[in-house]
Chains A and B, each alone.
Chain A
Amino acid sequence: MRLKLVPEETSFDFFKKWKLWLGLSGFMILLALTSFGLRGLNFGIDFRGGTTIRTEATQNLDIGVYRDAIAPLGLGDITITEVFDPGFAEDQHVAMIRIEAQADGEALSSEVIAQVQAALDAVAPGIKFISVESVGPKVSGELVQTAVLAVVLAIGAVLVYIWLRFEWQFALGAVIALVHDVILTIGVFSEVQIKFDLAIIAALLTIVGYSLNDTVVVFDRVRENLRRYKQKPLAEVLNMSINETLSRTVMTSLTTLLALISLYVLGGDVIRGFVFAMIWGVVVGTYSSIFVASTILLWLGVKRDWSKPDNTTGNQFANIDA
């Protein structure tokens, strides 16, 4: 007896409502962009400069008291948030204090941090600074450049790869799906205002890789079926290919989600934003490889005349792994 999440034979018509799916994706992208435009991302100190301090105290946390204690130091904009985690002890009260970047290019000096600690110790005796991270505006500016460059390079590199492996219609479909995933992820980050830092860029790029993994598996099957069923209409071939790979798509998404969710719940609060980005990416990536990438492929059409030898398909890169 086997656990079968997807019946052995499926024949869903994924393109019957293709306008609906594309419309939905378009709408979501619009929502994401609007949210990004209105709220913007909650950039971490990696990208904006500034200082974050993670404090731990045994007393109940009162953000107002903390704020009043630090205010006389004149450090500009200060954000204090309480951190919750099921793993914390009863009398463990953790806060994140963020201090904006100061005028000069340097990180916040240790003397200032000592002053902050002294000020807080007066209101919450025995308060501990668990971690202090300070990034000067000079470095954060460069980190933004590097991050943007990394994302652009990654998308460019995989575009070239897909283009070498398949025809350009496939590449375009895959990359549109990819951009769709990245935009939706950024949209969620701006809507929920989760801290967006260097690690999130790593998560974004992993989403890029995962989403393509899914798309490549579907496209590989499409290519195989296109060769086998030369007379069938493209829509049918696409549908057949997605149905054939559906069981695998669901299995892999589920095992990946299973792993990620356990990390989300049990992995501690430090990494939660990072894991959240990846969970979202897996869900969106799976959706987009079926409903966005394939739909765009259907829309663009593929060269079907396989009787003549063709230099652009089945080139030296096409079966590099076979």
Chain B
Amino acid sequence: MLHIDTWKRALIWLVCVAGLLLALPNAFYSRVEQSNDAYAAIEAQGETPELLAQAEKWPSWMPSSLVNLGLDLRGGAHLLAEVQVEDVYAARMDGLWPEVRNALRDERATVGTFRRIPDAPADQIRLRLSKPEGMARAMELIRGLATPVTSLTGAGATDINVSGQGDVITIALSNQEKLASDARPLRQSLEIIRRRIDEVGTREPTIQRQGSDRILIQVPGVGSAAELKSIIGTTAQLTFNPVVGRGTDPDANPGVGNKVIPSLDEPGTYYTVESAPVVTGEELVDAQPSFDQNGQPAVSFRFNTSGARKFGDYTAQNIGAPFAIVLDDEVISAPVIRSHIPGGSGIITGNFDVEESTNLAVLLRAGALPAKLEFLEERTIGPELGQDSIDAGKVATVVAFAGVLIFMVLSYGMFGFFANIALVLNIAMIFGALSLIGGTLTLPGIAGIVLTVGMAVDANVLIFERIREELKAGRGPAKAIDEGYAKALSAIGGGNIPTFITAVILFAMGSGPVRGFAITLGLGILTSVFTAIYVTRLIIVMWFERRRPKTIEV
């Protein structure tokens, strides 16, 4: 009776201590934040005495994860952008047109003259032939331009569908190709946006894909959505520059017509390159991850005609010399030219793995945003409003807390005090768990915590009421406590499961602040059930063992 194994006791206390330790950094929020920032800065740019002093504001052996503050608490900008994939279809069709024209021109004898019909949908080319009897041959020629779709679902299909009616041929992007290629502009846009925002160097930006063609961007600390839009709106500049030299001094004298720029992958390495590029990214038509002749991951790329000529001439004259692939004044890589590259297409080899080559290909294509972004949702929250909300939330939480604590002691005396210890631990554990999983605290999330303060005592109320009933029924103190816990379990579990289900549904369906609320509500249920069932019980048992009271009053 009233026995709890030692290992269980140890485990319960261990969980509580872990929760408290994890929650502790949040009590010193700004200090820990500065320390974390300083560590990140040291990691990125080396130690300085100031940074070190700042880093030591929080002992390194302590947990240092903090609860993220949501945009509504910290202030910042939120954008939901939709990538206009139709733009890409139109560009694809415009790119295909010259090929179609060249193919048909060679067979003018059979197909006659032809003309592209304007006002066709963006994802189609329509053309009219002067000799309808040449339709079959023309369609055969155009079908010859099709390439297989490179995706699992699109296996066996080609990228374009060619159909004819009367003297009009319609070339349309196939649905399989659209499916396969829609992901591409989205990935490129994500990558570009991420790079642009990282450049500005704000803390913890959120850049997420949403659905098939949307991107959610949340950046704390940016003044307004307009500012954020201007950051991601500028186009990326990709250039291919001749390399003059390479070193570690960012302030080296580059010489006339040259500039010193850092390397993207190797921190501390700087390249001196000629300022005038050989070719720019505007002349790149494609870049794809591939493999070189040794089976090493590589990136293949292709220039348009003028780019191909410039690139061909340059490589022919500079075999053995390195040239730099530069994105926004950072060297992505500086391969050595191994041979003359005449066809305007080439392959970049280097020390990459498959993932890196894929990323590089994305970046190379990512010269500019591949499609227009339409902004469906824009939110700017001023930092003052967030701070006001935090302050108000703090006061409300403290008052709610104090009220419930007093109320519990008044109603249940000593047992109410035990429940209060559990309640304090409960809140600490919510913060600890939030920090651990990197959860985000939002304004509704604070409401979720306050609600938890009110509802968490429910489990203990159920138990205490049961103990009262058992005492009334004439059971001894130990037996009454034991039975009280045993009989209340069913109601505690049964009562909390529906709330937990709704928290899960809210988490799955909601976004932003609502999701923050769902997280604190769900965590609050887990921790409150744990503290009510295990912690208060352990405290009561320990108290009971020490005092051995003949009678108890609950």
Instruction: Give the B-binding residues of A (Cβ under 8 A).
Output: 2-5, 8, 54, 87, 105-110, 113-114, 128-136, 138-139, 146-147, 149-150, 153-154, 157-158, 161-162, 165, 198-199, 201-202, 205-206, 208-210, 212-214, 216-217, 220-221, 244-245, 247-248, 251-252, 254-260, 262-263, 265-268, 270-271, 274-275, 278, 319-322
Are A216 and B453 neighbours in the complex by a CB distance under 8 Å? no
Chain B residue contacts of A244, Cβ below 8 A: 469
Measured CB to CB, the nearest residue on chain B to A218 is B491
Are A107 and B380 neighbours in the complex by a CB distance under 8 Å? no
- Interface status of B138 (Cβ within 8 A of chain A): no
* Of listed A114, A139, A212, A275, residue having the most chain B CB within 10 A: A212
Contacts known (A150-B506, A150-B509, A278-B451); A208 close to B458, Cβ less than 8 A: no
Interface string of B358-385 (1 = CB under 8 A from A): 0000000000000000111111111011
Are B454 and A217 neighbours in the complex by a CB distance under 8 Å? no
Are B505 and A139 neighbours in the complex by a CB distance under 8 Å? no
Are A199 and B513 neighbours in the complex by a CB distance under 8 Å? yes
The complex places the Cα of A268 from the Cα of B410 at a distance, in Å, of 29
Are A110 and B503 neighbours in the complex by a CB distance under 8 Å? no
Are B454 and A260 neighbours in the complex by a CB distance under 8 Å? yes
A-B contact pairs, 30 of them (CB 8 A): A87-B388, A87-B392, A107-B377, A110-B229, A131-B380, A132-B380, A134-B378, A146-B509, A157-B502, A198-B513, A202-B444, A209-B500, A212-B498, A213-B455, A214-B495, A216-B491, A251-B461, A252-B457, A256-B451, A258-B400, A259-B401, A259-B403, A262-B400, A263-B400, A265-B396, A266-B392, A267-B450, A274-B447, A278-B447, A322-B489
* Of listed B388, B443, B514, residue having the most chain A CB within 10 A: B514
* Distance to closest chain B CB from A217 (angstroms): 5
Are B509 and A271 neighbours in the complex by a CB distance under 8 Å? no
Are A2 and B489 neighbours in the complex by a CB distance under 8 Å? no
Chain B residue contacts of A258, Cβ below 8 A: 400, 403-404, 407, 454
* Of listed A108, A154, A201, A213, residue having the most chain B CB within 10 A: A213
- Interface status of B237 (Cβ within 8 A of chain A): no
Are B495 and A107 neighbours in the complex by a CB distance under 8 Å? no
Given A114, A149, A255, which contacts B408 in the complex, CB threshold below 8 Å?
Answer: A255
Chain B residue contacts of A114, Cβ below 8 A: 226
Chain B residue contacts of A265, Cβ below 8 A: 396
Are A136 and B376 neighbours in the complex by a CB distance under 8 Å? yes
Are A256 and B455 neighbours in the complex by a CB distance under 8 Å? yes
- Interface status of B517 (Cβ within 8 A of chain A): yes
Q: For chain B residues 509-527, which have a beta carbon within 8 Å of chain A?
A: 509-510, 513-514, 517-518, 521
* Distance to closest chain A CB from B515 (angstroms): 9
Are B454 and A213 neighbours in the complex by a CB distance under 8 Å? no
Prevailing SS type, chain B contact patch: helix
- Interface status of B534 (Cβ within 8 A of chain A): no
Given A108, A157, A268, which contacts B378 in the complex, CB threshold below 8 Å?
Answer: A108
Measured CB to CB, the nearest residue on chain A to B403 is A258
Are B375 and A199 neighbours in the complex by a CB distance under 8 Å? no
Contacts known (A208-B502, A252-B458); A262 close to B450, Cβ less than 8 A: yes
Measured CB to CB, the nearest residue on chain A to B229 is A110
Given A105, A106, A213, A220, which contacts B496 in the complex, CB threshold below 8 Å?
Answer: A213
The complex places the Cα of A309 from the Cα of B443 at a distance, in Å, of 51
Interface string of B466-502 (1 = CB under 8 A from A): 0011001000000000000000011111111111111
Given A213, A252, A262, A322, which contacts B403 in the complex, CB threshold below 8 Å?
Answer: A262
- Interface status of B151 (Cβ within 8 A of chain A): no
The complex places the Cα of A132 from the Cα of B506 at a distance, in Å, of 25
Contacts known (A113-B226, A248-B465); A131 close to B381, Cβ less than 8 A: yes
Prevailing SS type, chain A contact patch: helix
Measured CB to CB, the nearest residue on chain A to B72 is A270
* Distance to closest chain A CB from B437 (angstroms): 19
Chain A residue contacts of B258, Cβ below 8 A: none
Are A107 and B375 neighbours in the complex by a CB distance under 8 Å? yes
* Distance to closest chain A CB from B427 (angstroms): 12
Chain B residue contacts of A255, Cβ below 8 A: 404, 407-408, 454-455, 457-458, 461
* Of listed A133, A150, A216, A255, residue having the most chain B CB within 10 A: A255
Are A110 and B444 neighbours in the complex by a CB distance under 8 Å? no
Chain A residue contacts of B378, Cβ below 8 A: 107-108, 110, 132-134
Contacts known (A138-B376, A161-B501, A252-B461); A322 close to B490, Cβ less than 8 A: yes
Are A216 and B495 neighbours in the complex by a CB distance under 8 Å? yes
The complex places the Cα of A254 from the Cα of B226 at a distance, in Å, of 46
Chain B residue contacts of A216, Cβ below 8 A: 491, 494-495, 497-498
- Interface status of B399 (Cβ within 8 A of chain A): yes
- Interface status of B154 (Cβ within 8 A of chain A): no
- Interface status of B530 (Cβ within 8 A of chain A): no
10 more CB-based (< 8 A) A-B contacts, given A209-B501, A271-B443: A54-B385, A108-B378, A134-B377, A161-B498, A209-B502, A217-B462, A248-B458, A255-B461, A257-B454, A270-B443
Chain B residue contacts of A138, Cβ below 8 A: 82, 376
* Of listed B451, B494, B513, residue having the most chain A CB within 10 A: B494
The complex places the Cα of A256 from the Cα of B455 at a distance, in Å, of 6
Given A132, A162, A165, A202, which contacts B518 in the complex, CB threshold below 8 Å?
Answer: A202
Are B407 and A254 neighbours in the complex by a CB distance under 8 Å? yes
Measured CB to CB, the nearest residue on chain B to A210 is B499
Are A262 and B461 neighbours in the complex by a CB distance under 8 Å? no
Given B225, B229, B404, B461, which contacts A259 in the complex, CB threshold below 8 Å?
Answer: B404
* Of listed B389, B498, B501, B505, residue having the most chain A CB within 10 A: B498
Given A131, A133, A198, A319, which contacts B514 in the complex, CB threshold below 8 Å?
Answer: A198
* Distance to closest chain B CB from A147 (angstroms): 8
Given A2, A206, A267, A275, which contacts B410 in the complex, CB threshold below 8 Å?
Answer: A2
Chain B residue contacts of A130, Cβ below 8 A: 381-382, 384-385
Given A146, A147, A199, A213, which contacts B517 in the complex, CB threshold below 8 Å?
Answer: A199
Measured CB to CB, the nearest residue on chain B to A110 is B226
Contacts known (A131-B379, A217-B462); A267 close to B396, Cβ less than 8 A: yes
* Distance to closest chain A CB from B178 (angstroms): 20
The complex places the Cα of A11 from the Cα of B322 at a distance, in Å, of 93
* Distance to closest chain A CB from B497 (angstroms): 6
Given B224, B465, B499, which contacts A247 in the complex, CB threshold below 8 Å?
Answer: B465
- Interface status of B346 (Cβ within 8 A of chain A): no
The complex places the Cα of A107 from the Cα of B514 at a distance, in Å, of 21
Measured CB to CB, the nearest residue on chain A to B82 is A138
Chain B residue contacts of A205, Cβ below 8 A: 502, 505-506
The complex places the Cα of A220 from the Cα of B501 at a distance, in Å, of 18
* Distance to closest chain A CB from B407 (angstroms): 6
* Distance to closest chain A CB from B370 (angstroms): 19
Chain A residue contacts of B412, Cβ below 8 A: 2
* Distance to closest chain A CB from B373 (angstroms): 10
Chain B residue contacts of A267, Cβ below 8 A: 392-393, 396, 446-447, 450
Are B379 and A133 neighbours in the complex by a CB distance under 8 Å? yes
Chain B residue contacts of A109, Cβ below 8 A: 375
Measured CB to CB, the nearest residue on chain A to B383 is A130
Contacts known (A87-B388, A268-B388); A206 close to B443, Cβ less than 8 A: no
The complex places the Cα of A236 from the Cα of B352 at a distance, in Å, of 77
The complex places the Cα of A219 from the Cα of B230 at a distance, in Å, of 58
Given B400, B468, B502, which contacts A206 in the complex, CB threshold below 8 Å?
Answer: B502
The complex places the Cα of A217 from the Cα of B514 at a distance, in Å, of 27
